[in-house]
Amino acid sequence: MGISFLIFGLGVLTGKPFFEMFLTSVAVVVAAVPEGLLPALTVVLATGMQKLAKHKGLIRKMTAAETLGCVSVICADKTGTLTRGELKIKL
């Protein structure tokens, strides 16, 4: 993003048309994102879901695998399910 802003600013300061520099800076940002990013992310999340399934974990959405991968302790009820997105501890 920083390089895109730099290209845009330098282009406008040197007298290039505003719209042309805008299109150029957008093209630089789009080109910076690799085409294989989304498939790679899908493969990583699917692998995480498989690892959770081995430990008898069941998740509905693939993005939850990323969140659960960072957790070290899970508190659940007596059936082993998490029913809400909140965790409250009462003493």
Is 77 catalytic? The answer is: yes
The Cα–Cα gap between 18 and 79 comes to 62
| Cα separations in angstroms, 63 against 7, 10, 20 | 35, 40, 38
Residue type, position 44, single letter: V
Query: Which candidate in 2, 15, 71, 77 is catalytic?
Result: 77
The Cα–Cα gap between 35 and 75 comes to 39
Which residues are the active-site residues? 77
